[in-house]
Every structure is written in C-alpha cells, then in structure tokens.
Amino acid sequence: MTRMFVRLLMAAGIVVGAQAGQSSGARAADLVVAVSDNLNGLDPHDLNDNISQAAARLTHEGLFKLDRDMKLVPGLAESFTANDTATEFVFKLKQGISFPDGTPFNASVVKFSFDRGGNPANNLKRQSIYVMIDHTDVVDDYTVKVTLKYPFGAFPNNLAHPGAMIVNPTLVTKFGKDFTRNATGTGPFELVSWGADTLKLKKNAKYRMAGLPKIDTLTYRSVAENGTRLAMLQAGEAHFITPVPPEMIKLVEKNADIVVFDKPSLLSLFATMNSQKKPFSDVRVRQALNLAVDKKAYSKVIWSGYADELDSPMAPGLGYYSKQKPWPYDVAKAKALLAEAGYPNGFDVTITSGTSTLSKRSMEFLQQQLAQVGVKVTVESLEAGVLTSKLYTNPAAETATIQMLVTGWSSSTGDADWGIRPFLWSKGWPPVLNNFAYYKNKEVDDAIEAGLSTIDPAKRAAAYATAQKVAWEDAALLYLGMSHNLAAYSKRLKGASMRGDQQFQLDEDATLN
Amino acid sequence: MALLEISGLKLAFPGEDGPVEVIHGLDMTVEAGETVAIVGESGSGKSVTALAVTRLLDHAGGRITAGRIGFTDRAGQVRDLATQSQEAMRLLRGPEIAMVFQEPMTSLNPVLTVGRQIAEGVMLHQGLSEQAATEEARRLLEVVRIPDAARQLGRYPFQLSGGMRQRVMIAIALSCRPRLLIADEPTTALDVTVQAQVLRLMRSLQKELGMGLIFITHDMGVVAEMADRVVVMQQGRVVETGDVVALFAAPSHAYTKMLLDAVPVLGSLADQALPAPFRIAGAPVVVQDTVQHGAVPVLELDGLVTRFDVRRRFRLAGRIHAAEQVSLKVWPGETLALVGESGCGKTTTGRSIIRLEQPRSGTIRVNGEDLSDLSGAKEKRLRRAVQFVFQDPFASLDPRLTIGFSIAEPIHTHGLAQGPAVQARVQALLEQVGLLPEHARRYPHEMSGGQRQRVCIARALASEPSLIIADEAVAALDVSIRAQVVNLLMDLQARLGLAYLFISHDMAVVERVSHRVAVMYLGQIVEIGPRQAVFGNPQHPYTKRLLEAVPVPDPTRRAAHAALDESEVPSPLRTPDDMPVVAPLVAVGAGHYVARHRVGGLY
Amino acid sequence: MLDYIIRRLAGTVPVLLAVSVFVFAFVHLLPGDPARMVAGPEASLEQVERTRAELWLDRPIWQQYVRYLDQMVHFELGQSIKTREPVSKLIAERFMPTFWLTVWSMVWAVIAGVGLGVLSGVRRGHWIDRAATVFAISGISFPSFWLGLLMIDLFSVRLGWLPTSGYGSWLSFVMPAFTLGSAVAAVMARFTRSAFVEVSAEDYVRTARSKGVPERGVIWTHTLRNALIPVITLTGLQFGFLLGGAIVVETVFAWPGLGRLLIDSVGFRDYPVIQAEILLFALEFVLINLLVDVLYGLVNPEIRLK
C-alpha cells in the first residue's frame, strides 16, 4: 500500500517534472533576470536606483551611453562639438530612428526630453543631471545645441547617465502621470507589461541596429530573498541573478551550468569622519585611523575576499582616476600619531550605519580594529528612514550628530566629477550633497571646480589628479576598500554582465541559447 | 433466571501508583420488571457500577478486574457483559440496556435537535428510515408527556427546561424498548415538583414495558418512592440489601441506620412549633427558641424589586422579573427560610440584599439602618453585618490561599483584630465550626466538601455578622454531612444569636431549621408565615403543590400524592410592556399571609 | 441575519476611522524623511524641498490628516510617494495573490490541523498522537523562512517538480501555501486535539455511546461538531497570523503580494501606501470576524436562535 503510494507519487512527480521541463524549453528565448528589489518605475528621468535604471536602459537610450566597461560611447548622437569653455555643446543626431509606436526620433524630441527632465516644475528625481543646462535649441532636424549656465566639462558623460535618456514625447503627453508605468523608448527592447514584481519586455522591432537584439523576450523579476534567486538560477527559471552574496559564490561555483561574474565595481567604501569637530579636525587622527585598519582583513571578513584595497578616493574604473600610495596597516604608527595629536589613550566614538548585515558587520569590524589603537567604538545601526533624516536634517557641521558613518559611493556617469564631488566638495555638505564628513579643503575644492570648467582632457586629468592626491593624503575619509560586483548567470547566456556602477548590462548582441 | 446477575465484580481505575480498586466484589441481581435502588453517598461506587454494566466504563478509563455480569438478552441467552467485545456491547446498548443520566443540562448534545437525538437510536437499532424514525421520536415525546411533541422535535436542548430535557433523555433511553434501564440520579438536578413528575413517569413507563430498573440515588425519599429492593453501598462494597419496606422499617447495618437517621423527613416536626436540630443518637431534643421578637429586625425588606433586562440587538426584548415587591423581616436569632423552585427569584433576592445585584427599587434596612443607598461608610457596615454562604464551597474559596488566610481576610478588612490576635481569632473560628486549628494551614483542595462548607461558615462568622444569608448552603453535601452542617448552623444561632435567611429548595431541611417560611413563585412571595402554619396548613396552591411533591422516605406512604400537576412553571421572562400584577398579601392567621391575586396566570 | 450583518458592517466605519487616525499618527511620527528618500542621495536641496511641498509634508500634520480624510471620503487612497503610482493600483495588483495565498494556506491549515487534531484526539496516547505532537511542535517552532528555502531546494532545484517562486499556476501555490499554512496547522492541531479531548469527556458523548451509536458516529456527529465550534474562532484569529506570516513567505517565494509591498513601503516611509495597507488589514480583520460570527451562529444553534 505504502509502496504503491510512493510509486504513484513519483509517477506524478515525473509528469510534473516533465511539464516543468517542457515549459522551460518553450520559454527558451525568454531571458529571465532576477534582481533583489522592486522597480520604482520605468520613467528614466524619475529613477534613482540601480535596479530600475538598469531596467530603463533596456528600453531607452541616451545621446551617449556607457559600455560594459563604463567607456563613453555614442548612443543616439552621431558626434558632438563643444566650445573651449565647455559651455556650449552641439550634437549631431543619428537619423532614421523611431520609437516603437512610430514617433520619429529627431532634434525636437531631444529638446523635449531635456526640457522635461530639467524642468523643476516637473520635480523629477533626475533633474540634477540637467541643472547646468541653460537652454536647448533645435538647430535643424538632426542638430541640437545645448547652452550651459556654467562650464561643465563632464557634460557628455552626464548625458550618458540613464537619467538623461531620451523619452518618447507621444507617450509623455498621452499618459501624463502614468507615464512611469508605460515608458518605453528607442532602446533594444519594448515594454510589454509591468505589474507588481515583474517587468516583461520584448524585442523592439524598430531598433536602430538591424538584426539586434537577438533575444526575443526578457523578464525582469524582483526576488528579494538571495536563496530564492539562486534557486531560480539553479532550477533554470532565471538566467541572470544579481546580487549574489559572497558566501553563496562557493555554492554556485560547483555548478557546471552556472558562470560566476566577479569584477571590481566602482563602489568605493569608506567611513566618514566629521572633520569639523574634534577629534577628527586633526589630520593626524584621521591618518591614524587609516593606518589602524587592516584593509586585507576587511576584504576577507566583510566580503569573503570579494573586495580590493582602495588606492584613491575613487575607483580605478572611473575616468581621470589617479593611483595613490595605499595606506599601510601600521598600528604602531597609528598609535604614535594619536599620541602626537593628544590622544595617547584613544577616545570614544560612535559609528553609525544602516541595518543590513553588511553595514552591521562593517561597523563591528571597525570596532574591533580601532580598539587596537585605543579608540572605543559604539556601534549604532539605524533603520533607513531614521538614518536619512538624521543625515540630512541637521546640516550644520558643528551640531551634526553623526561622528562616523560607514557608507560608500559609486558614480553613475563614469566620470571623476560625480566620482568625488558629492562627498569631498565643501559646497556639498548635507543637505546639498553627500559630504557627510563635512570635509573642507581649499585645494580639493579648487581642483574639483577646475575639472568642471573645461572639456580639455589634459586639464581635467591634472585637476582630478590633484584632488585625489590631496584628499587621499589628507585622509579625508577612512578608506576601506572597493567591492566586487557579484552575479551569476546561466552558461546559455552570452553578453550579459554587471557594469562597474552595479547595473545589469545586456549587450545589444547578447544571446540565450 | 434473573435479568441481571452480578457476582464478585471488581473495578479499578488507573492511579499514579498502579490501578486503584473502587469496587471490591459486588453481588446483586435485578429481575425483569423489578426496580432495584442503589443508594449510597458520593464515593460509594454506585455510578461506576452502572457504567460497568453498560461497559461505558471502558470509555471513562476504568476496567473490570474480576467478576461476572450475567445478562439475559431478549433471545433468552445469558451473556457475560464483563467479557463482551465493545462492538457486541454497542449492539446491546439501546435495545437491551439503556441509561438515563443525572445532568439533563449536559447529557444532550447542544448542537443537534431533540428529534434527531431521539431518532438516531431508533434508526440505528430498528433500521427505520429517517422519516419513520422522526415519527417514532414524536410518538416517544408523547409517551414521556411532552406537550406539542411535533413542534418540540425541531428544538434544541437549550430551548427546553431541565424537566423537559430529562423527559427527552428518558425518551431516548426508552426508544428501543430496553429490557434494563439504568437511571443514575435522574432527578437530582431537578426541582422537587419536576422530580415528582419525572419519577411518576418513570414508574408508569416501567410498568408498561416490564423493564428491569436500576435506580441510583442518594435520596432516601426517592428510594422509598421507587424501589422494590434496595442495595446500600459504602466505599465500593454492598453493606446491606433487602426489600424496601423491610429495610426502611428495620435497617440492620449501622451505615443504613445512619443514612436513614440523617434523612430529613418532611412532617417530622409537624407538631412542633420551633425548629430542632437533627438528632444525634441518644441526645435529647433541644428546640431552637432563639428569636428575639421585641428587638429591631436585623433585616427588613420593603418592596424590593430586581429585574434583568434582556436585550436583543440593542433593543429591550424583555425583562426577567426576578424579584417583585418582596417585603419581609428577619428578627435577631430567627431563621427565615426562602423557598421555591429554580427561577423563582429566591437567590436574586438574597444577592440583592448584599448588592451582588442592583435592585430597581425598594428599601433595605439592616439593624434598623436604611442601607438602600450604599454611600460612604454604609457599604462597609452592610458588608460586615450581612454575610453570604454559597452553595458551592469549592468555587467560593480561592484555591491559592490557605484556609487561615481566607478566614483572616474579613478580620483585616474590617479591622477587627491586629497582629497575633488575628491568628487567635482564626483558630477560635475554626474551633467554633468544628474544625481544628491546624486546618488553617491547609488549602481548599486538601479538604472535603463538608469541611470546606464549614470553612465558608467560619469566614462568614469572622466579621461578627448579625445576619447570614445561606443560599442552598447544604444542597451539595451528602446526607450525613448535610445533617452535621445544619446542626452546626443551628448551634451557632443558639450560641451567637445569629439570624439566617435560609434560601433552599429542600422542604425537609427547611422544616428543620426555620422559624418562619416565605414561599416565592415567579419573583413574588406568595405565602409567608410561621413554619408550622405554612407547612401544616398551606393556603396558596403553589405551596401545596410544592409540599406534595416532596418524596417521603417511607415506602408505605407511596401512593399518598397521586394527583400530580403536570404543568410547567411559567417563565419569569415577560415582554417589556407586560408588567406582573402585584397585590398585598392577605392575612389568614397569626403572622400568616398569602397571595390571593393571580400570579403568572397559573394560580 | 441580514439585518445583523448590515449593522455589523456599519459598525466597522468607526473602527476604520479610529484605525486611520492611529495609523496616520503612528506613521507620521516615525522618524524619517520621505522627501529625502524619494529625491535620492543625488538630489539637490531645492529638489528635496520641492518634493516635500509636492507631498504636503511641509504642512502641519492636521492639514495632512484632513487631506487624507478628504481623499478617503472620495474613495481615493492617494499616490505612492515612492513610485508616484496610485495606491489603489498598487494594492489592487497585489491583493489577489495575497488573498489566494491566504485562502489556500488556511485551507491547508484547516485540513491538516483539524485532521491531525482529531486523529490524535481519537488516538490519545497512541504513536499517531505523539507523531502529531512532534509535527505540531516543529510546525510552530520551525521558521517558515527556512522551511521555505529547504522546500525550494528539494522540490525545485533537486527534483524540479515545482517552480521556485512567483505567482502563477496552481503548482506555484503548493510550497508557499504549505509553508504559510503549516505553522497555523500546528496551532490548529493542538487546539483541535484539546477541544476534541474536552468534548470527549462531555456527558452527551456518553449519552451517544449509551444509545449504541458506533464510534464513527460518536466522533463525527457528537464530538467533532461540538469541538469545531471553538476551532472556528481560532481559525478567524489565525487569519491575522497569516497576514503577518505572509510577509516572510512572500519574501522567500517572491510572491507579488501585500506583505512585500508593506515592507518596501515601511522602509521607504511611503505613508499613503502604509496607511492604505493597514486600513485594508483592519477591514479584512473586521470582515473575517464577522464571517466567523456568522459561521459560529450556523454551527451553534444557541447563538443562532437567541
């Protein structure tokens, strides 16, 4: 009786299994990407998270774009010229392109898109991309001239940002407030549906590159639980999953059908130190802390080795990166510096960060490391909403309550400007930008501003080299490391990767077979 | 051949240290058409014996360890029920052996209609269709004299009165014409008039069907009413067995004698104006001449009204008129009995006096002071002067407090003693109620029912009250214990000059203890007067009915009250606009008053 | 009955109003700045302030509440702060997945819980009873998070019988409903068993046996029907547990339901969504309680007829 039952059960299982196999066979051309969070919308001008932006990049394109290595390449623009002071840019557009609904792509579409994104009245989340634009003019059908309010050498890089992608004016007008649910541009894929946790796309038949993309349909699903994402990949239900926590990489590596993606990201990780207040107003204290932390141990303990040492405030993948001499791990020297600064027995400090395991473990790691030089750390783990308000609602450096914040920065433009300005520029103290260290150094400020005032690569390189050198040696931050992008994908998938800015990247000629 | 022949029966229940034997070798026989009463106090093993015969014992966790239960079935075959399989027993239960249990309130399934519950057995054993079985159920309801039988079939147990439910139980038991009926205390939970009706019904049905009947009871009055033969049990053994008349006339075993002596016999003080305690062998009769007639009454109720609103969906749907214009007086040293059947309002009246219920109107005077409005210190004085003793001594003692603590509580509350004096007072109180000083350290569960009731009395005495309201205070006790507690109460009255408001349904006990009696019916006092006058010369028809229904523990006087009233007592629930008629009572003798107006339509 | 139901439904209005005040106050008093979170870390100060004004977050809280009430009266739930979508739309597309998950979990919980409870109640002390106890204790103590992942590993990755996650065909319901329902089933099993044992000792069960009713009838007709009356109440209460437990299960099985939405919204201080969801939960609770009361009346004539 029992055996009979088991046999029946197995038979049923085989049938079910076969069905599952069949259906996955039928879905062969459907590429499934599983990510950790829900999309916040499809309107590229109104997104500020990597997952949504990566999805928007499947359906939209900008005048420029960044390739899989974060190199600036032309998108909808054919070519451009700029004046010497980096205040006027003229773009020649590619011809013969149209949106899936037939709306032609031309200069007035570009003007519409830029005007929309930058108009404060629209209050779109990406208006900062356009903030330097004074006005945009249609020169002829395929020529656009953009005049800036002030020199902005990184402008083409700015336009490679997902927030500067060109939207379809017909859809904007048609859907109004609901545009964010219906946006679809000139990108390789076209929107089919988006609801709850699933985005479905299909090949854009009108895509400008003939014969591409080679993938018919694409499903972008949000699966919060790491283990479940991994199971989906193992079961063949998903073909690309990200992120994969470091501790799970070992599980994946054994599977012959799965490829592990492991490359340095552009995310530099650091702890801020409020440099306007004691004890961190003393450069020796900041330097001592940089010497007191074993960065190799950091990589091993926090990232299971999937992180590299920093040798500049910004990651090497960004334009105008300039390598510095890494801070060694030298407890004796750190102690000496602290003594010199008047803290022979260290001091008490509170380190703050979010509630994720990563944040907590990083704070505990620092607590243990800094104890060796006598700095007694209290760990404060704040839920995101609380942390945000604490960081931004108390903007005066003197009264700021957060002494040290474990955080990080990754530039989404691929350029040095957005790679360092938000957290090292003295005009970017909260709530304006994210300089939570309240760092202020005239040399750094001047260099950042000089880098922006020209498009001359040589001048810009020199300016950013200075900025990086000074901020590094001045120990503006407690530099921790630079994490890797970890993802995993099916062997059947070719041409998918994670870009340095932690966004899913699907090359136009990607295949799934 | 006897219908049932039990020999050498031993029963055991599993205990913590192995099986505990509860029946130690029982022998008895029942002939067809014969009624055998098994009497005994709680723990005697009489109910367990009944369960053993039906083998429902197996489901209660017990086991037959020795002996034989010979039963002659319809086919004339003798079977040993002790060894039958459960399935064989199941087929016997219903058509051969049936049972009626004590609690009509819980013995019927609350979610099934009465008709369904009767028809179930009929369908099972007689193979009738559902329709035919329902028709049979209707017929059975008529047999047990339930009016409007067809309509009752669709009703649920909670919609029926206790008496009606017990009739339904009897209908279920009789549905397959069993040859042996075992009735376990079938009338104990019923009011006395209902009991009389049910007993008469059972007797006549037994005669009709020629059944053997085992009647289990603790009530000698009921035994005298029903039995042909009597089996007296004590602690799992038969101590005496014999013909009912012979046994009542000349009990041979000391325990039987004690049981018979302890039974209060209504009418035994008929020629005696004052109450008198139960006789302890050889002691002289002392009458209870304790009433101080000239003094200020300890309690004076004038026009007390207590009603309960019945709301249905936020609307007033009706009112229960629990107490309507109740007026009475109790003098120091006097016992006034408040008698009547369930729902008559006697308990509500008692509870209204100490404000466990809030009266709507009327005045309450205690020791001459108007305490109708309990403001300030008045409440404290009331709580001290009037004490309550409830029916269930277990429920009214906190199981987590020692006896001593429970008794000391009112002493502290009323500031009657401090420090070591409290202990001394507690010990004195314990001795006063016949307990030992060391009992103070015990917990309620370590004491017997009678002891617990003594504790409750001691606690009531602690505040040195002038009046104790005893609400069915002895109803739950075995006869022998009951007599002791009644004597204790009377002794305390003689010594302390206490007054009692003695609420009871038991006429024989009331005759023993009370100086005066008030009869309540549908919330009104319908007759009040000296006990001898009310009992000897009842004027109100309800009083007469109540007294007639009391079973007399004398098998020779069995046919004395043949003309029984089959009617049910009406409900005290009335619609909001239907106010009861209340009129002053009419004097018919010295201190003897009776209602001459119609109360509730029946009288 | 209908009269009663209408009255009860009308009674939910003040309850919901009270819940709305409470939730509104609670949510708005939480520390956190949604304007900053919406605008994102790269936004300028002016942009954050514009967002704040757009969301009315710069107004006094009472004005915000009045606006919120005004919207509710017009059956509007407002707009999500996070995605700017209408809250009604967000909830509508996630309601059915959660609803069906809850229903099937409850079905499983009732079948397994009552079944095991009765089985162990009938076979008291037998090994079946003990096995059911072990199941119940592990069901209560085993985190649904781990149970879910273990099942995914076994049934999806190793055996390939069931889809790992997502809301789709009936196959996709098997693991989430099992996971979510099991903890409840365990509670129900314990409760049913004790109710069953309690009723078994009732006098009317003895009466049934004294009539010669076969054991099957004793169990089904006389014991179970009465034992189920308290179980119905428990079932209603457990619905609340399911709503809570759904959050974990929805996360593990990537179920596009309300639980996930709530987590996301709380993390983001998406006030309108949080408020709407909690109001919805309150409404569901009230409705389930009403349903329980109606059912209670159906099985218990004493309630029905009084």
Separation CA A146–CA C91 (nearest Å): 42
Taking an 8 Å cut-off on Cβ atoms, the answer to whether C210 and B99 are in contact is: yes
The owner of tokens 């739309």 is C89
φ, ψ of residue B265 to 5 degrees: the values are: -105, 120
Q: What is the mean pLDDT of chain A?
A: 87
Question: Minimal Cα–Cα distance from A110 to chain C, Å?
Answer: 23
Q: State the pLDDT at residue B125.
A: 87
Q: Looking at the predicted structure, is the pLDDT value of residue A7 above 50?
A: no
Residue B283: band (very low, low, confident or very high) from pLDDT cuts 50, 70, 90: low
- Comparing B260-269, B290-299, B505-514, C185-194, the range with the smallest average pLDDT is B260-269
Output the pLDDT for position B313.
60
**For testing contact with chain B, the best of C210, C219, C222, C232 (most B CBs within 10 A):** C210
Strand A504-512 to A493-498 pairing:
antiparallel
* Shortest Cα distance, chain C CAs vs residue A48, angstroms: 6
* CATH code matching the domain that covers C92-300, chosen among 1.10.260.40, 3.90.1150.10, 3.40.50.720, 1.10.3720.10: 1.10.3720.10
C110: distance to nearest CA of chain A, Å? 23
Tell me, yes or no, if C203 comes closer than 8 A to chain B by beta carbon: yes
Structure tokens at A29: 């051309």
pLDDT of residue B517 exceeding 90: yes
| Torsion region of A196: left, alpha or beta (phi above 0 gives left; psi -120 to 50 gives alpha) | left
- DSSP per residue, B221-271: HHHHHH-SEEEEEETTEEEEEEEHHHHHHS--SHHHHHHHHHSPPTTTTTT
Average pLDDT over residues A433-458: 90
The whole-number pLDDT of residue B344 equals: 86
Q: Tell me the one-letter amino acid at B561.
A: H
- Chain C CB contacts of B214 under 8 Å are none
Q: What is the mean pLDDT of chain C?
A: 83
At residue B336, the pLDDT reads 96
- Give A393's contacts in chain C (Cβ within 8 Å): 33
CB within 8 Å: C207 and B109: yes
Option in A41, A225, A433 nearest C84 (CB): A41
Residue in A with minimal Cα distance to C247: A224
Residue B175 · residue B123 · CB < 8 Å: no
Which chains form contacts with chain B, at 3 or more CB pairs under 8 Å? C
- Residues from chain B that touch C204, judged by Cβ atoms under 8 A, are 106-110
The dihedral over CA atoms of B431, B434, B438, B440, expressed in degrees to the nearest 10, equals -80
Contact assessment for residue B318 and residue B379, using Cβ atoms and an 8 Å cutoff = no
For residue A503, give every residue at least 6 positions away whose Cβ sits within 8 Å of its Cβ, in sequence order, or none. Answer: A50, A53, A54, A57, A162, A412
| Residue A116 pLDDT exceeds 60 | yes
Neighbours of C5 (CB within 10 A): 13
Mean pLDDT of A215-244: 91
Give the mutation candidate from A125, A131, A386, A423 for the C interface (greatest C CB count, under 10 A).
A125
Q: Report the C-alpha gap between B115 and A55 in whole angstroms.
A: 70
**Subunit contact A225:C252, Cβ cutoff 8 A:** yes
Note the pLDDT of residue A407: 92
A361 or C285, which is more confident: A361
E strand or H helix at C96: helix C87-122
Reported as a single tens digit per residue, the pLDDT across B83-135 is 989 899 998 998 899 999 888 778 899 889 999 999 998 898 888 898 999 99
Residue A22 has pLDDT above 50, yes or no: no
Residue B148 confidence (pLDDT): 81
CA-angle at A60, arms to A59 and A61, nearest 5°: 140
The pLDDT, as a whole number, for residue A8 is 38
Tell me what pLDDT residue C41 has. Answer: 65
Which range (A51-65, A204-218, A329-343, A381-395) has the least confidence?
Answer: A381-395
Q: Which residues is A505 bridged to in the sheet? A: A497
Q: Average the pLDDT over A288-298 and give the result.
A: 94
Query: A478 pLDDT exceeds 50?
Result: yes
- The answer on pLDDT for B136 being more than 80 is yes
- Farthest CA pair distance, chain B: 78
Question: What are the residue boundaries of the structural domains of chain C, listed by start?
Answer: 2-73, 92-300
Residues belonging to chain C: 306
Using CB atoms, list chains with 3+ pairs below 8 Å to chain C: A, B
Chain A residues with CB-CB distance to C32 below 8 A: 383-386, 388-389
Facing B109 at nearest CB: one of C210, C212, C222:
C222
Check CB contact under 8 Å for C256 and A197.
Answer: yes
Q: How many CB pairs under 8 A join B and C?
A: 89
A390/C31 touch (CB, cutoff 8 Å), yes or no: yes
B101 touches chain C (CB under 8 A): yes
pLDDT at A195 over 90: no
Contact between chain B and chain A (3 or more Cβ pairs less than 8 Å apart): no
Verify whether the Cβ–Cβ distance A48 to C42 is below 8 Å: yes
Note the Cα A101 to chain centre separation in Å: 31
Query: Which residue from B552, B527, B560, B528 is spatially nearest to B542, judged by alpha carbons?
Result: B527
Alpha-carbon distance of B162 to C116, in angstroms, equals 37
- pLDDT of res. A2: 37
> By mean pLDDT, which of A100-114, A344-358, B193-207, C38-52 is the weakest?
C38-52
pLDDT of residue A18: 36
pLDDT at residue C10 tops 70: yes
pLDDT of residue A250: 84
**A130 near A164, Cβ under 8 Å?**
yes
Alpha-carbon gap, residue B368 to B371, rounded angstroms: 9
ipTM of the complex: 0.80
State percent of chain A over pLDDT 90.
58
**Residue B437 clears pLDDT 80, i.e. is over it:** yes
Q: Does C84 touch chain A (CB under 8 A)?
A: yes
User: Are A385 and C34 in contact (CB < 8 Å)?
Assistant: yes
Please give the domain boundaries of chain B with CATH numbers for all domains: 4-261 (3.40.50.300)
Q: What is the pLDDT of residue B364?
A: 92
pLDDT on residue C42? 66
- Looking at the partner chain, which of C211, C217, C300 has a beta carbon nearest the beta carbon of B172? C211
C84 contacts in A (CB within 8 Å)?
A: 41, 46, 177, 180
Of B142, B141, B161, B198, residue with least CA distance to B564: B198
3-state class of C297 per DSSP?
Answer: helix
Q: Does C168 touch chain B (CB under 8 A)?
A: no
pLDDT for the residue numbered A373: 92
What are the distances in angstroms from CA B414 to CA B363, B384, B406, B427, B432?
25, 7, 14, 18, 20
In chain C, pLDDT over 70 holds for what percent of residues? 97
Beta bridge partners of A496: A506
* Cβ contact A389–C252 (<8 Å): no
In angstroms, the separation between the Cα of residue A151 and the nearest Cα of chain C is 19
Does the beta carbon of B130 lie under 8 angstroms from any beta carbon of chain C?
A: no
pLDDT at B280: 67
State which residue of chain A sits closest to C172, comparing Cα positions: A20
Considering CB atoms only, which of B108, B159, B313 is closest to C207? B108
Angstroms from B485 CA to nearest CA on chain C: 31
CB contact under 8 A, A224 and C254: yes
pLDDT of C132 strictly over 70? yes
* Pairwise CB contact (< 8 Å): B56 & C221: no
Neighbours of C236 (CB within 10 A): 18
* Stronger pLDDT, A513 or A444, i.e. the higher one: A444
Nearest to A120 among C32, C50, C253 (CB): C50
Residue C269's pLDDT band, with cuts at 50, 70 and 90, is confident
Q: How many helices (H) and strands (E) does chain B have?
A: 19, 23
Whether C164 sits inside 8 A of A392 (CB atoms) is: no
Residue C250 sits at φ, ψ, to 5 deg, of: -65, -35
pLDDT, tens digit (0-9, with 9 covering 90-100), for B586-600: 889 889 999 988 887
The band of A17, judged by pLDDT with boundaries at 50, 70 and 90, is very low
Interface test with C, best of A388, A425, A502 (most C CBs within 10 A): A388
Dihedrals phi, psi of B233, to nearest 5 degrees: -115, 145
Q: Where are the alpha helices (DSSP H) in A341-406?
A: 357-371, 384-392
- Residue pair A453/A153 in contact (Cβ under 8 Å)? The answer is yes
Q: Are C20 and C279 in contact (CB under 8 A)?
A: yes
The answer, for C197 touching chain B at a CB cutoff of 8 Å, is no
Tens-place pLDDT, residues C99-124: 889 889 999 999 998 888 888 888 88
Residue A92 — pLDDT band, cuts 50, 70, 90?
A: very high
Per-residue pLDDT band at B561 (split at 50, 70, 90): low
Average pLDDT over residues A189-195: 92
Separation in Å, CA of C305 to nearest CA in chain B: 9
CB contact under 8 A, C299 and B111: yes
pLDDT of B566 reads: 65
Q: Any chain C CB within 8 A of the CB of B310?
A: no
Q: Does residue B293 or residue B230 have the better pLDDT? A: B230
Mean pLDDT of B319-347: 90
Percent of chain A scoring above 70 in pLDDT: 94
Identify all chain C residues contacting A127, using CB atoms and an 8 Å cutoff.
Answer: 43-44, 47
Mean pLDDT for B65-88 is 90
CA distance C198 to C191: 10
Which H or E run includes C291?
helix C271-299
**What's residue C305's pLDDT?**
66
Q: Which of C8, C198, C209, C231 to mutate to test the interface with B (most CBs of B within 10 A)?
A: C209
pLDDT of A497 strictly over 70: yes
Looking at the predicted structure, is the pLDDT value of residue C163 above 80? yes
CB-nearest partner of C44 from A37, A128, A386: A128
Distance from CA of C110 to the nearest CA of B (A): 21
Residue B281 reports pLDDT greater than 80? no
pTM value? 0.75
* d(C-alpha B405, C-alpha B422), whole Å: 10
C-alpha–C-alpha distance, residues C9 and A510, integer Å:
57
